[in-house]
């Protein structure tokens, strides 16, 4: 088992290294975010412990870049802050779990064992429909390799469609996924956002991948060859 610890506080880093080594891990240390990012992309780790507050590149940015680069080693974020917003942004950035300082080694090892059990099946994946590719962790969309800028709502709407290619999704279902359950506004908002999406993912590429199913909702057309691409 190999672990990477990215932590700028020397004392904390030393404690973690010793504790992990006692549990049988081989441990690499980085005290700068950029060094940590480099090590994590060059090597294969069974777990990466990321301090949130680092002098150059913070833990969330490192996590996001790793996921964008296709590195799916389990990431445990260590933080002194316990705000809900941090927790949410950590998980949005593709972190697997979260530990608030100060913590006990017993708690740390319990979390590490849980991460180990979770295995590769839980790794988020990139969604592909034809030449449309969406990375939930990296929050990026490309069509035939061309990056497409989407707003948060457009992104969420497209992600929902791409998770169910070929299925008709009703306006109600789309609203529940993209807005929230409490939204009781006009369901025309879906039509408006579908129009925005078409202008970004279809029109510039001469496509018509988002189909209107009269009286029902919308469907993202499954293009031939999707199933042949397992990535
Ligand atoms: Ca720190």
Look up the CATH number of the domain holding residue 133: 1.10.10.10
Residues 107 and 6 occupy one common structural domain: yes
226 within some domain: no
Residues 141 and 191 occupy one common structural domain: yes
Question: What is the pTM for the complete model shown?
Answer: 0.54
Q: How far is the CA of 50 from the centre of ligand 1 (A)?
A: 9
Residue 156: helix, strand or coil by DSSP?
helix
Average pLDDT estimate for 74-91: 72
Residues 107 and 140 occupy one common structural domain: no
User: Across the strands, what pairs with 75?
Assistant: 48
Average pLDDT estimate for 23-50: 90
The last residue of a domain, from among 116, 151, 181: 116
Q: How far is the CA of 49 from the centre of ligand 1 (A)?
A: 12
Domain that holds residue 158: 127-220
Residues 8 and 107 occupy one common structural domain: yes
Look up the CATH number of the domain holding residue 105: 3.40.50.2300
Residue whose C-alpha is closest to residue 154's, from 117, 186, 118, 198: 198
Residue 99's pLDDT is 84
Q: How far is the CA of 38 from the centre of ligand 1 (A)?
A: 18
Residue 81's pLDDT is 63
Average pLDDT estimate for 204-223: 91
Average pLDDT estimate for 7-34: 91
Residues 192 and 107 occupy one common structural domain: no
The last residue of a domain, from among 116, 147, 170: 116
Residues 6 and 97 occupy one common structural domain: yes
Residue 185: helix, strand or coil by DSSP?
coil
Please provide the average confidence, as pLDDT, over all residues in the chain. 83
Higher model confidence: residue 217 or residue 119? 217
Of the ranges 89-93, 114-118, 177-181, which one carries the lowest mean pLDDT score?
Answer: 177-181
Q: What percent of the chain has pLDDT over 90?
A: 36
Q: How far is the CA of 102 from the centre of ligand 1 (A)?
A: 12
Residue 32's pLDDT is 95
Distance CA 204, CA 172 (A): 28
Task: Measure the CA angle with vertex 9, ends 29 and 52; round to 5°.
Answer: 85
Residues 8 and 110 occupy one common structural domain: yes
Query: Per-residue b/e over 136-172, b at no fewer than 16 CB within 10 Å?
Result: bbbbbbbbeeeebebeeebbbbbbbbbeebeeebebe
């Amino acid at each position: 088992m190999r672990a990477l610890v990215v932590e700028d506080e020397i004392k904390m880093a030393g404690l973690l290294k010793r504790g992990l080594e006692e549990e049988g891990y081989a441990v690499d240390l980085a005290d700068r975010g950029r060094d940590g990012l480099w090590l994590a992309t060059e090597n294969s780790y069974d777990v990466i412990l990321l301090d949130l507050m680092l002098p150059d590149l913070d833990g969330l940015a490192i996590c996001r870049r790793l996921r964008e680069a296709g590195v799916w080693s389990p990431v445990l974020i260590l933080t002194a802050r316990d705000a809900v917003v941090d927790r949410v942004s950590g998980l949005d950035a593709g972190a697997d779990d979260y530990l608030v300082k100060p913590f006990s080694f017993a708690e740390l090892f319990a979390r590490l064992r849980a991460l180990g059990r979770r295995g590769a099946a839980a790794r988020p994946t990139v969604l592909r429909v034809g030449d449309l590719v969406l990375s939930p962790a990296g929050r990026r969309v490309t069509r035939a390799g061309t990056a497409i800028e989407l707003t948060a709502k457009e992104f969420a709407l497209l992600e929902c469609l791409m998770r169910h290619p070929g299925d008709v999704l009703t306006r109600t279902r789309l609203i529940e996924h993209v807005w929230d359950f409490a939204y009781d506004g006009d369901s025309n908002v879906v039509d408006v956002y579908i129009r925005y999406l078409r202008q970004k993912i279809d029109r510039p590429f001469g496509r018509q991948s988002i189909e209107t199913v009269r009286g029902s909702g919308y469907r993202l057309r499954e293009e031939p060859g999707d199933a042949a691409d397992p990535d």
